[in-house]
Structure 1
Amino acid sequence: MPHGRHASDREWMRPILRLRRVTWLVPTAYLLVYRPWQRSWGATGTEVTDTLPGDEIVPRPQWEATRAVVVDARPDDVWPWLVQMGAHPRAGWYSYDWVDNAGIRSADEIRADLQGLRVGDRLPMTADASAAFVVESIDPTRSLVMSNHAVGGAVSAAFVLRPHGPRGCRLIHRIRFRVPASGLPWAVAMDAGDFVMTRRMLLGIRQRAERLGRRRRGGTEPTDDDPGTPLSYDLSVPIDLPPGRVHALLADVQDLEPFPRAAGVTMTKWPAGPTGVGTRWHERVRLAPGIWMRVESTVTAVSPPVSLDMDFWAGWCEGHLTYTIEPTPSGCRLHQRETLALRRRLPIPASWVDAGLRPRLLDRLADLRDDAQSRPV
Structure 2
Amino acid sequence: MSVRIKVLDEILNHGLRPWLDHNSLDEIFYSKFHSLKEYRSRHPLQFEIKFERPFDNKTKYYNLLIRNAIKSHFDTIYEAMVEDRNENLIHYYLNDILNKRLKTHLKDLGKLLKEKDFTLSYIDPKNTSYQLDQVHKANTFIMQLLKIALMQLYLEVQETFKEWVNDEFIVEDFYTQLLNEPIPDKLPIKKNEIIEVEPEPSLRPKANLKEKPIQFYSFFYKQYNTNPDKLQDLWVSLKHNNFIHPDTHLSSFKKIFSGTEINTPITWTGLPSDLYYFIKRIHTDLKLVEYLKLKIWEVTVICFVDENGQPFQRNQFRSLKRPNLTGDKIDNIVNLLK
The answer to whether TM tops 0.5 is no
> Structure with the greater relative contact order (CA < 8 A, sep ≥ 6): 1 or 2?
2
Please give the TM-score of this superposition, normalised by the length of structure 2.
0.31
Greater strand percent: which structure? 1
Query: Rg: which structure is higher?
Result: 2
Please give the TM-score of this superposition, normalised by the length of structure 1.
0.29
